[in-house]
Every structure is written in structure tokens, then in C-alpha cells.
Amino acid sequence: MFTGIVEELGRVAALEDQGDAVRLTIAAEVVLGDARLGDSIAVNGCCLTIATRTDEAFTADVMHETLRATGIGDLGVGDEVNLERAVTPQTRLGGHLVQGHVDATGEVRRRTPSEHWEVVEVAAPDELMPYLVPKGSITVDGVSLTVVDVLDDGFTVSLIPETLARTTLGRRQPGESVNLEADVIAKHRRRAPDHLARDPRQRLRLRLRGRRPAPTRLGVAGRHRRQRAAVQRLPRRHRRRRRAGAAVRPGRAPGVLPPHQRVRLAALAGRAPRPDGRLRRHDARDHAAVGHPRRAGRVPPCGGRGDRRGAVGLQRHRCRLPGAALVLLVRRVDLRRLDAGDVRHGPRLDRLLAGLDRRRRRRRPAAVALGLLPDGRAVRRLHRPGPLGLRRLAARVAHRAARPDTCEGDHLGMSIQDLREEQHGGVRLDPVERAIADIAAGKAVVVVDDETRENEGDIIFAAARATPELMAFTVRHSSGVICVPMPADMLERLEIPLMTPHNRDKLRTAYTVSVDARDGVSTGISAADRAHTARVLADSATEPWELTRPGHVFPLRYREGGVLVRRGHTEAAVDLARLAGLTPAGVLVEVVNDDGTMKRAPELREFADEHGLAMISIDDLVHHRRKVENHVERVALTHLPTDHGDFEAYGYRITVDGSEHVALVLGDLGGDEPVLTRVHSECLTGDVFGSQRCDCGPQLRESMDLIRAEGRGVVVYLRGHEGRGIGLVAKLQAYQLQDGGRDTVDANLDLGLPADARHYGAATQVLKDLGVHDVRLLTNNPDKVSSLETYGVHVAERVPLTPRPNGHNIDYLRTKRDRMGHDLDGLDAPADEASDQHPDDSEEQQ
């Protein structure tokens, strides 16, 4: 037994392979003071037994199972390790009780320095997440720490200068693995007898995450200790949903998801029809007033891993879909709004609900669901709102909840995975984390790009792990043209020039002169020869004279910034290799059918499943990089007095593309209370010229005034979002189309541009740099709420802004309400006023 208080930093002196074990020699001083043979010592949190000792070092035998299951196997000679002796009855107890039995390994995701401490985010496996609670204990590399925050797939801890200086955690960089051990009390509590959790409320108190569904109808429509008081606390306008005649009845929360993941999902009860036929979204305050935030709105799992009692509502309607779960939403429907989130960069998704009556769909609210059955068939249904329509929909439609986190498509009741699968014809995609692990293990993966680009899939693997067998497999299922993407500095060091100085390729693929390895090959064309050439290219010790030109392998020039600046397979291959911790060089080749035609998404999915390969999209890789990497750099800080208050102006530059953003800060952002925040997209015509075709300028000024009244807050002003990301000139071209009668969404699409090309990764990184992790967001756009939460910023409350309609923007605001899901009231203009209105603005800033 240990306490998690590190006594000394030791150093690995030697590693000796003994067949069925490895003998580890560690140089130390303090822990050897009274140590005897057979005593236990924690090495990076792993309990080892002293086999031999001297005055300067000790040895311990480590079994291969321990090497595999912990980070001990990653140690090398000279590496520092945390050391602690086992406690005795006379030992002063500090930290918390630690067994020295590593439960799992995690990965340092990011480090956020502060003035007096440093916040470290650690990714943890799913099996460890149920044991983590805020303010609970966790052991990281043998160091006893307190959990600050529990995330969807990890946690954060704060490290004081003493811990940073006296343990290895001060040197751990993002991407490095750490040993994790959960609190022993939490592990025993997790295994409490089931009979202790028969009562629904007791189930919640015991936090048996994922083992039982939440109480039925938790909230206004079901059991609650203070149900009547909760109803009375609801704003009066929300209580009217009972008189709407089409009220949404909340169902059970999914039993297969832990509570900390359930609360981040969109709520079925998030929209309810009002007596006038319109819909109103319930914000976080309303959900908090009626129970666990947002949980009441989730419908139950349908068979599969969930508790069978959780599916009773579906089974009574003869809905039995093993392995599937159900997500529903009630909203006013428009197909083109479905290009939210990362799908905005993809094709139009008009086929999503093909065959339905569009006129009927636009005339009234409807319940919509997209279903993927276990056999792969897609199910689409449209029903009128109300209990009967929802029950019919529940009986017919389900989709697999492959990933619980949601993105900008949150209001659609669809997960990130569902949106991206729909972009690729409903084909299932694998997590990026699996692809990275496979690349690191020397396996190949299949990577698909956007349908509007090449619309093809490539086999990709790391050049440093190329083998004759892997190369032969690649050649057999491809066109045979083997390419090795590499960064520019590696190509320059090897003196490999571009194939042509004037690249006229449609997608600007940067081919170089082909090469072969000079030694170790025969003709250069065989699989073994080309695998050897790929390894030679990836070897940092290779000299230019060790390559012959021309050859049978085509290096490609990687664009700095990777998939964040160019969504190509070249950049994807190098990024995957780098994320896997290998030399940033990959091997790629297009996958083809037997007749030489390109395989498309459904065929690629079959191919990947047949050969046990992970299949991901470049869009998924973009999202992963934005989520786990930090690309903002603070470059300026100055005082900025304005008509709306005295702010501190922070200047930021994005290291990937050089774009610049500004944060205006008022007051002290510290403390536990959520910070009033506005994320504002740049609008030259509205913010500067005072255009009346949009409401951007008034929203910015209102936000600054609200922050001044609050006494503290932040405005993140995002450059490059002009016209929802299409650019200033393109926005003016959209204006021209709107003068002819098109609305703001159709104008963008008619120009061949996405309806909304923005993302908020930069905003979340700016907020995290300012130490802001919980916000009250000033917006009328629910998409922005889910987007910030996707990137790790918790939105405790959405604070609405006052719409300011006039004769020039009333149709634009109605388009935002009806086609883009914004919560805007008071837009019913008189007929004579609407007759002389100008068309919509192409720029929507919420």
C-alpha cells in the first residue's frame, strides 16, 4: 500500500531482457535508506519488488504482462521515474490510499499553464471513467492528485510548482502515456450490490453509471422530489406547452451511457410546440429546474447493451432492434439546415429525407429522425408532433449511438458520427483514435475524403513500419502507384525536387521526382524493394546519395499545417504518422475495384471490414486535431477603452494559417462561476458600416453592454467569418442573388459555397488560454452551444439576445428562425412593412 506522495526521482540505469521478464535497474538514494530485499517500491505507480540492491541502485523483475498493461514498457535507459516506498504502521499518511496496481494507461492531451499552477488534461479509457468524480482522487504515474473536472473521455488535474518540480509529471508532454490507478474506495463502491439501487432516486445517488437507466420521466412529466416546485420555477411561457396539444413527453435516459455523458446530449424535450404553432427551445436553466440537466429528454436504448427495462416504452410498440438506440427531435424541418458542423464543408444533404413532401414539411413542425438499423438499412420517417406521432416514430426509427458526444448538429438529435456517416452515404466510420493506434502498431487504415473532392479512399500506413507483406497487400488492392508523403524539410534534406515547378493539377497534389533506395533492392519494383525504399525515406539518417532517381516510389510534398489547411490524403498520411508518434512520413495509394474503377464509400466499408482495417474520414481527422491540439498563440495584450466599457484586448494568432482573432476581457475571469461570453463572427458590413441587412452590429453592442452590466465577461471576435465563412466578396455576390429573391441559405448554395463554413475551434482555444472553461453564452443559435461543448468548453446557460427586426432584415431573421433553428421571437411584421423588405443577408452571425 502506498500514499501517492513521491519520495524521490530515480533514473533507469539498465534494462536486461530475461526471456519471460525484464530486469529493471533503477538508480536511487532516498528510497534505499532502509529498503530490504523483498520490499515493495512504487515505480511510476506500479508496485515492484526489490530483487537485489546496492547503496546506489536496486533491481526489480517486471513480467511481460506488466510491461504490456503499464507504461513501464515504454521506459528507456536514462528516463526518470517516480519512486515511493510502501507505507508502514509508523508512516504518516498523505495523499490517498494507493495499491500500486495500475488500472489503465492514459495519455496527456494538453497542458494549460497558469500563474501559480498548471492544468493538465489526461485522456482515460472508457473502463476507468465510471470511477472518476470531481474532487475525487486519481493516481497518475504514482502521484496522488485530485480530479478537477471529469470530461467525456478523460479528466483534468491541477499541478502545483512542487509537484511539477519533484515528479515526472512536470516533464510529461502531450501525447505521452501515463499510468492511472483509480481510487480504491471508488472501485469497491462501483461493485455495490444491485439491491442497493432498486429505488430510482437511490440509483442516481449511488451513481451507478451506465448500469441502470435513469428514473423514468425525470422532470416535469415524471417523478421528482420537488416536482411541483420545479414546475412553478419554470418560466410561464414554457408551462404553456401542456396546453399546446402536442407536448413532448420525455423518456428514459440511455442506460448504456454514464450520466456525465448523458448531460452533453441534446434533449428530446428541447423543443415543444406552442399554441401558435411555433416551437420554443428550452435552455439549460429550464432543464436544471426540473432535474438532472437535459437527461429527461433522452429516449431509451432499444435492446442491445441497455437494461431491458429501459426499452419497455419501445417494446410495447413492437419495436425490437437489437444493438440500436433511438434519438428523436421535434422541430421545424428544412433539409439544407442539415449541413451543420463539419458537414458544412461537404455536399448538400438533400437526400437525407428524400421522398418526403417538402411543402408539408415546411408548413408545420414535425418530428424527424434518421435511422440506421443494425443490418445497415436507413430508415427515415416524418410524423406530426404529439404523443401519438412520437410513439409511431419510436416504433419505426432507430439509429446506433456510436459516439455520445455531439457537435454543431446537436439540435438535430444526431451525434457527430451520425452526421459524418450521412456525409459518406450512411457508411459507418471508425474512431480516429483507433486509426492512430493501428498506424502506431504498423497496420494500414482506410481514409476517405469529401464527396465534393476526390471522393475516393486510400490505404495509408506509416513509412517507417512498411513491410513486404503490407506493401504486397497494398499493391494488390490498388492502382500500384506507391506514394510517400513527407514534410518539405525532409525532402529538401534528401535533395528530392518537385516533379514540375508549375503544378497544374486540379487538387495541387505536389508530386516529386520518383526514387528508389540505392542499396538493398534489385529492380526496385517488387513489394520488398518498395517497402525498403519507404523505410529508407523515413529514416532520419538517410543521406541524398543513398537514393537513386528516377525510381518506383513517388514522394509527395506535405503542406505545413496538414489537414487543417489542405484536406488531402497527403496531409492525412503525415498527420496520422505524427499523431502515432512515428516519423512524419506515410505510404498511400488509392483503392480500386478489380475492373480498375475507384472504390466508393460503401465498397470501401466492405473492404475495410473484410480485411480488419479501420476506416476514417479526413473530416474526422480535422475534428480530432482541432480538439486535441492547441493552435492559438497570444501575441498582444493592451488596454482598450470603448463606449461600452474599458476592456483588456488580447491579440491571438493561429499558428496553422496565420489568421488573427481578438478577445475583449472585462473584469476578473477567475472563480467557479460561469463567465458571460459572446463569440462573435466578423461582419464588416454590420459591425463597421452599420448595415441594416443583418443584426450583427446591434448584437455585438448589446453583448458588450450586457458584459459591462455584469461586471465581467469576454467577447471573442473571430476574424475570417465574414458571410458565415465564405468571405467578403462572396457575401456581396450572395447579396446580389438575394436581390433576385433568394434567401441567405440558398444564395450561398447557389454560389457553390456551404451554407455555413465556420468552426469555433479557435474560439474555444482562446477561451481556454484565458482560463475560461464554463460560460454563459450570449447567442440565439443552439448550434454554437453544442459546438463549444464539442471542443471542451462547458456552456452552463444560453443567454438570448434581443432580435432587432427592421424593414430590411425581417426576412433574414425569419430565415434564421425557420431554416437555421434559431430562437427568435417577435418577428411577425405587418404586411405593408414586409412588402418593401430587402432580401436576406447572406451573413448570419449567431
Kindly state the helix (H) or strand (E) to which residue 401 belongs, with its residue range.
Answer: none
The residue that leads in pLDDT, 713 or 308, is 713
Q: pLDDT category, 642, cuts 50, 70, 90?
A: very high
Residue 527 — φ and ψ, nearest 5°? -60, -40
CA gap 344, 349 in Å, rounded: 10
194 is catalytic: no
pLDDT digits (tens, 9 = 90+) for 578-597: 999 999 999 999 999 888 88
Q: pLDDT category, 449, cuts 50, 70, 90?
A: confident
pLDDT computed for residue 722 by the predictor: 86
State the catalytic residue, choosing from 203, 271, 559, 758: 758
pLDDT at 380 over 50: no
CA gap 701, 617 in Å, rounded: 40
pLDDT at 233 over 60: no
pLDDT computed for residue 564 by the predictor: 87
User: Burial of 594 by CB count in 10 Å (0-12 exposed, 13-18 middle, 19+ buried)?
Assistant: exposed
Cell representation of residue 758: 465556420
Contact residues for 671 (Cβ-Cβ < 8 A; gap 6+): none
Torsion angle, alpha carbons of 556, 559, 561, 563, to 10: -60
Q: pLDDT category, 518, cuts 50, 70, 90?
A: very high
Cell representation of residue 534: 519507404
Q: pLDDT category, 452, cuts 50, 70, 90?
A: low
Kindly state the helix (H) or strand (E) to which residue 445 belongs, with its residue range.
Answer: strand 445-448
CA gap 282, 235 in Å, rounded: 10
Q: Tell me what percent of the residues of the chain surpass a pLDDT of 70.
A: 68
pLDDT digits (tens, 9 = 90+) for 4-36: 889 899 999 998 887 778 889 999 988 888 888
pLDDT computed for residue 72 by the predictor: 86
SS3 734: helix
The phi-psi region of residue 256 (left if phi > 0; otherwise alpha if psi is between -120 and 50; otherwise beta) is alpha
DSSP-derived secondary structure for 260-322: HHHTTSPPGGGEEE-TTS-EEE--HHHHHHTSSTTGGGPPPEESTTS-GGGGHHHHTTT---T
DSSP-derived secondary structure for 775-786: EEEE-S-HHHHH
Q: pLDDT category, 343, cuts 50, 70, 90?
A: very low
Specify the pairing of strand 675-681 against strand 713-718: parallel
Q: How far is CA 737 from CA 344, 367, 609, 773, 835, in A?
A: 20, 32, 46, 41, 18
Cell representation of residue 691: 448595415
Residues 562, 574: contact at Cβ < 8 Å? Answer: yes
Cell representation of residue 110: 494538453
User: Burial of 711 by CB count in 10 Å (0-12 exposed, 13-18 middle, 19+ buried)?
Assistant: exposed
H runs (alpha helix) in 340-467: 358-363, 387-396, 416-423, 432-440
Domains and CATH numbers, the chain: 1-182 (2.40.30.20), 196-423 (no CATH), 432-620 (3.90.870.10), 630-835 (3.40.50.10990)
Exposure of 410 in the CB half-sphere (CA atoms within 13 A): 27
Cell representation of residue 750: 447557389
pLDDT digits (tens, 9 = 90+) for 249-280: 233 333 333 444 333 333 333 333 344 544 44
Q: pLDDT category, 509, cuts 50, 70, 90?
A: confident
From the CA atom positions of the chain, what is the Rg in Å? 29
Exposure of 816 in the CB half-sphere (CA atoms within 13 A): 30
CA gap 428, 376 in Å, rounded: 9
pLDDT computed for residue 451 by the predictor: 61
Q: pLDDT category, 354, cuts 50, 70, 90?
A: very low
pLDDT at 200 over 60: no
Q: How many degrees, rounded to 5, is the angle at CA 379 between CA 375 and CA 382?
A: 165
Contact residues for 765 (Cβ-Cβ < 8 A; gap 6+): 630, 631, 632, 791
pLDDT digits (tens, 9 = 90+) for 655-706: 887 889 999 999 999 888 899 999 999 999 988 998 888 888 999 999 999 9
- Region 232-244 average pLDDT: 38
Residue 643 — φ and ψ, nearest 5°? -65, -15
Residues 179, 144: contact at Cβ < 8 Å? Answer: no
Q: Tell me what percent of the residues of the chain surpass a pLDDT of 90.
A: 29
Starting from the edge strand earliest in sequence, which strands make up the sheet with 645-654, in order?
632-642, 645-654, 660-666, 713-718, 675-681, 774-778, 794-799
User: Burial of 306 by CB count in 10 Å (0-12 exposed, 13-18 middle, 19+ buried)?
Assistant: buried
756 is catalytic: yes
Among 74-88, 298-312, 596-610, the minimum mean pLDDT is found in: 298-312
CA gap 58, 49 in Å, rounded: 10
Contact residues for 707 (Cβ-Cβ < 8 A; gap 6+): 644, 645, 666, 676, 678, 713, 714, 715
CA gap 623, 461 in Å, rounded: 20
Cell representation of residue 642: 470603448
pLDDT computed for residue 706 by the predictor: 94
CA gap 525, 517 in Å, rounded: 11
The residue whose grid cell reads 416536482 is 227
pLDDT computed for residue 760 by the predictor: 83
The residue whose grid cell reads 504518422 is 577
pLDDT computed for residue 724 by the predictor: 82
CA gap 260, 252 in Å, rounded: 15
Cell representation of residue 846: 449567431
Contact residues for 20 (Cβ-Cβ < 8 A; gap 6+): 63, 64
State the catalytic residue, choosing from 458, 756, 840, 841: 756
pLDDT at 809 over 90: no
H runs (alpha helix) in 42-160: 64-69
**Position 28, amino acid:** A
DSSP-derived secondary structure for 479-499: -S--EEEE-HHHHHHTT--BS
Mean pLDDT of all residues belonging to the chain: 72
pLDDT computed for residue 355 by the predictor: 34
SS3 76: coil
pTM: 0.47
Nearest to 787 by CA among 745, 821, 753, 811: 821
Residues 582, 440: contact at Cβ < 8 Å? Answer: yes
pLDDT digits (tens, 9 = 90+) for 731-780: 888 888 888 878 878 887 777 777 777 878 889 889 988 989 899 999 98
Specify the pairing of strand 457-462 against strand 632-642: unpaired
Nearest to 843 by CA among 761, 726, 716: 726
Q: pLDDT category, 396, cuts 50, 70, 90?
A: very low
Contact residues for 681 (Cβ-Cβ < 8 A; gap 6+): 696, 718, 721, 722, 724, 725, 758, 843, 845
pLDDT at 786 over 90: no
The residue that leads in pLDDT, 212 or 448, is 448
Residues 285, 238: contact at Cβ < 8 Å? Answer: no
Nearest to 294 by CA among 271, 312, 315, 278: 271
Residues 592, 479: contact at Cβ < 8 Å? Answer: yes
H runs (alpha helix) in 397-511: 416-423, 432-440, 468-476, 488-493
pLDDT at 213 over 90: no
Residues 731, 756: contact at Cβ < 8 Å? Answer: no
